[in-house]
Structure 1
Amino acid sequence: MPMSDNPTSRHVLNRLRAAHRHGRLVDAALSRASTYAHPAGRVVRIETHISVVYLAGRYAYKIMKPVDFGFVDFVGLEARRRCCEAEIRLNAPFAGRIYCDVRQLLFDGRRCRLGRGICKRAPPPRRDDAEVIDYAVRMRRFDQRLLFSNLLSHGELSASDIDAAATKLAASHRHARRAGNGPRAPVARLGSAALLRDQVLAALAPLEDDPRTADAVGRSALRATCESELARLALHVDSRRAQGYVRACHGDLHLDNIVRSGQHALMFDCIEFSDELRWIDVTCDLAFLLMDLRAHGDEEHAHRLLNRYLEATGDFAGLAALRLYVVYRALVRARVALLKAEPPEMCDAPAAARGITSYLNLAANEARDMRERAPWLLLCHGFSGSGKSVASRALADMSGAIRVSSDLERKRRAPFAAPALDALPPGAYTQAALDAHYQRLVAHVRDVLNAGYTTLVDATFLKAAHRARFAALAHELNRPMLILNFHAPHARLAERVNARARGPRNASDAGAEVLAAQIAQADALDAHERQHTVDLDTDVAIEAFSRPQWWAPLFGRLHAEGGKI
């Protein structure tokens, strides 16, 4: 039967034609300054596959296009209203004051105008005899130059921006609803290993089939690696879900969806149309931004983001699937770049091609790292004031190693909680308490090493028994270990400890008395430990720690032993 004679086909075709006519009417209206009740100036239009944003004066208005892509159907007016209201509600934890309300677009037979904000719990009211033809999300407009993507392209994305993003994301994840917990928290199979498998392979399949990407995907053995990792990590993924780490996340956390706002980072335009893409493991949410930074060549900021997020959450167990999530996110963005390259006259084709290449290269490199894990265990040994905490932070940002801080973990009162920086009572530093604390550190380090990441353990390690525990762990896991011996004259140690005591609160409780006790009671490194020790003189300006040449003794030792961080 020809398509024109098929009633179902005719209905679908007529529905799409009507949606197209409707889209032209709405677009024309919102492109005119006179539609708005406030000064709009020159209206700027920004279009994606499923939405259009109109920048008008102090505000931005976002509408959902009346399209049906299968995974999302916005052809119906009621579906667009629900989506707009969900966007306001779901973006609140991430975006601060950016989102205002949902506005009706009214048509009285002669012209379109924007109505007042609608109530979220009541049916949308009609105004006079005007017909409600669409809905728009109203947002406070921000300076586009402050988007993380633009800051990065102009070399202006700073370390403080990354710290703000890590802090914001950790706090949002900490307070997000958990799957199966609460009246609006779905159960189903969201965040499960079975669903993750479907999602990863669904992202991979179009890239395997497209002649522009098939060769690169095939050469990288991405399918074999993904299937192997999905099987290996299935129990881990389902266990994380059972433990409450599948939460209501952002779901689309790339550089174009984050903006600098003073000293803060605001995240907007979260996934609102798909529970499957939004209710995910928090590590999968973090992986999107990590991936995008790396795909844009900003490895150091990606390292910093990961370490600051882990400092804020202590979620070292989540690292087990991080590389798989990074591959998945890279495949998704490669697919989006591929779609943007069609048709060529509608986009910057060379830029789209570069995007596809960068994402596929990142996925291939990450897949290789999943197959070739070779992490080291690095113990940071030294007295309080030796500079080991500042230095190890700098090394982690520089190299991609994961830093586990004794001071921070001692003050983390519950899993996934932020460390409390208040001074601990004396009972927290008894020998029994210290032994228990080091045992917890061993568990964290085991998670990091098993995930395939070189681990920097920032602790004093002044007792031989504590060092021995980690040496035993390295032996058990068949991982090489080095002791990084940070040292400086005693006068410089005292100076730094006293200066820290006068400064703002920090994770360390060590003062002059603690330093004196450490010097008197420390167990010296024995001859065997000395064979695996790299000495680092910290009697230098703090800026030296961020220079690769200061770390030459460590990098040289690693190179000599055929290793790298």
Structure 2
Amino acid sequence: MQNDTVFDQAEIIAFLADPSTYGGGVANVERIDTHASVVFLAGARAFKLKRAVRYPFLDYSTLELRRHYCEREVAINRRTAPALYEGVVPVVLGQDGRLALGGTGTAVDYLVTMQRFDDAGLFSHLAETGGLDVDLIVQAVDEVIALHSAAEVVQPGEPSGGGAAGLYPTIANNAAELTAYSDLFGADRVADYTAAVEVAFARATDLLDRRAATGFVRHCHGDLHLANICLFEGRPTLFDAIEFSEAFACIDTLYDFAFLLMDLDVRGLGPLANRAFNRYMARNSDGAASIAGVAALPLFMSVRAAIRAIVSALTAAKLDQCAAAAARDTARDYLSAARRYLEPSRPRLMAVGGASGTGKSAVALALAPDIGGSPGALVLRTDEIRKQLAGLRDTETLPPSAYTAEHHAAVYQEMQARAAASLAAGRSCILDAVHGRPAERLQARQVAERYGAAFTGVWLEASEERLFERVTSRQNDPSDAGAEVVRRQLAAGFGAIDWLRVDADQPLDRVVGAIRGAKS
């Protein structure tokens, strides 16, 4: 990609790279380069200079534009990181002809100033070093949910990248940019990808427009990959949201979230991508209506991967030979992922049943990453659905009146409706429920048959001692079932079981291995 550089910032960059610029206590300055900015890490603070460049998607080419977008960046990112973003400071040219940070003189550029955080707390670094775990991902997803819930809804007619008309320019631009890099990616691979993404987009247009019309297009983050999440003051913090384009930031919430899922997946962290996906859907779902949106997820993840392929190619052009070669390899990997996400796969419905305490939820979550296309299967848990229908948080306890036969039937009906929506959207799913009655087990199979999905029924069995041990040791869990509930379940019996029966007294990995072996 060519850019139109209209202001020489070499002197400013040299000034910002000099430790003496920042006064005493700064012995060295670290520099981070991207295609659109240069970040200088000096002491306890970071200073971000926007490059004087113009791209088809970004224009920082004038001093006034850079000032405007510095101020915009601070305002937008204070939604999620108010303590991290300090403000904007000008680089001024004094009467003595010397540059200074702030003070009197003529402003020649502007910087976003931030509190510095430990690079080891970047989620991208944690992913590379094995430090990224389920707890951190769950906390980060909760931050995303909070942002999306509070984000301003884009109204019809307002500039945005939502709906079919809003997303297509990105797809078209990706095609043009990938074609421009045919020497890097290979002309045949680029042509194959662009044809496939056009087909996927055509299938999704009505869905994209429905989501735009029903409030799913909001002012989101816009650049939600792992390098833009850090640990700051002890919690995952989203930063570096896009400020320069409504088309990139005012988008479908699931398209925003797809960037995080794609990044985890490409890094080989599929299980964490699946946990992120299921946390987002469980905590940010209004039932079958929002689940229908996952039909667009393969397209969203593919477009995100294509964007990263282009950005990696752009970045390679600004790096030394060794680093550039690595960036080009990364770009090719992203394009491979972009194409893989568009491969169709037959959805599967798996139902995991058994008495309370058999470990159904742990088994379901362990199996989900490997069922269906990335990021894996949607897990539908009756314990969570029951709390949602009652308007309670997962860990709040329901009164006994919420466990009548009528409420029980309503919960199973809702679970099956969500499963139907998932399968209709092409997404595999797992039903995590006791399924204690033959009719409930039959209904699960019938949902799969209705949508032409493969079906697997798994029945977990464990000793009474193990069941009681597990239900009484639960903490912060959506299930309200205790020892008395287990006793009632066992006394009532479960009828004839024609599902795959698995000994759940075994360690989790052996239970999961037995199911995978039988399923294959």
* TM-score with structure 1 setting the length: 0.84
Residues 1:73 and 2:31 are matched in the alignment: no
Residues 1:447 and 2:446 are matched in the alignment: no
Report how far residue 205 of structure 1 moved: 2.6
Kept in 2, the 8 Å contact 1:164–1:263? The answer is no
Report how far residue 45 of structure 1 moved: 1.9
Within 5 Å, which residues of 2 pair with 1:271-282?
Answer: 271-282=242-253
Partner of 2:515 in structure 1? 554
Secondary structure (helix, strand or coil) at the match of 1:25 reads helix
Alignment length (residue pairs): 508
Q: What is the distance in 1 between the residues matched to 2:45 and 2:190?
A: 46
Q: What is the distance in 2 between the residues matched to 1:358 and 1:403?
A: 29
| CA distance 1:431–1:287, shift in 2 (3 Å) | same
Kept in 1, the 8 Å contact 2:159–2:246? The answer is no
Partner of 1:266 in structure 2? 237
Partner of 1:537 in structure 2? 503
Residues 1:498 and 2:472 are matched in the alignment: yes
- List, as ranges, runs of 4+ consecutive aligned residues in structure 1 with deviation greater than 6 Å: none
Q: Which has the larger radius of gyration?
A: 1
Q: What is the distance in 1 between the residues matched to 2:321 and 2:517?
A: 51
Report how far residue 263 of structure 1 moved: 4.9
Partner of 1:47 in structure 2? 33
Report how far residue 230 of structure 1 moved: 1.1
Q: What is the distance in 2 between the residues matched to 1:404 and 1:497?
A: 20
Report how far residue 343 of structure 1 moved: 6.0
Residue by residue over 1:116-156, the C-alpha shift from the partner in whole angstroms, topping out at 9 and shown as x without a partner, is xxxxxxxxxxx55x222222111011122222222222233
Within 5 Å, which residues of 2 pair with 1:141-540?
Answer: 141-180=116-155, 187-188=158-159, 190-209=161-180, 210-218=182-190, 221-261=192-232, 263-314=234-285, 315-342=290-317, 345=320, 348-368=323-343, 371=344, 373-397=345-369, 400-413=376-389, 419-500=393-474, 504-525=475-496, 530=498, 533-540=499-506
Amino acid at match of 2:61: V
How big is the alpha-carbon RMSD for the aligned residues of Structure 1 and Structure 2? 2.5
Unaligned 5+ runs, structure 2? none
| CA distance 1:102–1:418, shift in 2 (3 Å) | farther
Residue by residue over 1:296-352, the C-alpha shift from the partner in whole angstroms, topping out at 9 and shown as x without a partner, is 222222222222222322353331111111110111111112222326747722202
Unaligned 5+ runs, structure 1? 1-12, 116-126, 560-565
Amino acid at match of 2:503: D
Report how far residue 38 of structure 1 moved: 6.0
Q: What is the distance in 2 between the residues matched to 1:489 and 1:431?
A: 26
Kept in 2, the 8 Å contact 1:166–1:308? The answer is yes
Q: What is the distance in 2 between the residues matched to 1:193 and 1:375?
A: 25
Report how far residue 77 of structure 1 moved: 2.3
* TM-score with structure 2 setting the length: 0.91
Residue by residue over 1:479-538, the C-alpha shift from the partner in whole angstroms, topping out at 9 and shown as x without a partner, is 1222110111123212222223xxx33211112332222223344135xxx1xx111211
Secondary structure (helix, strand or coil) at the match of 2:73 reads helix
Kept in 2, the 8 Å contact 1:307–1:397? The answer is no
Q: What is the distance in 2 between the residues matched to 1:365 and 1:420?
A: 35
Partner of 1:563 in structure 2? none
**Larger displacement relative to structure 2 (104-113 or 373-382):** 104-113
Amino acid at match of 1:436: A
Partner of 1:29 in structure 2? 15
| CA distance 1:489–1:351, shift in 2 (3 Å) | same
Q: What is the distance in 2 between the residues matched to 1:145 and 1:418?
A: 36
Kept in 2, the 8 Å contact 1:312–1:418? The answer is no
Partner of 2:44 in structure 1? 58
Kept in 2, the 8 Å contact 1:207–1:214? The answer is no
Q: What is the distance in 1 between the residues matched to 2:13 and 2:190?
A: 42
Amino acid at match of 1:426: P
Give percent identity, aligned residues only.
34
| CA distance 1:263–1:465, shift in 2 (3 Å) | farther
Secondary structure (helix, strand or coil) at the match of 2:342 reads helix
Kept in 2, the 8 Å contact 1:254–1:288? The answer is yes
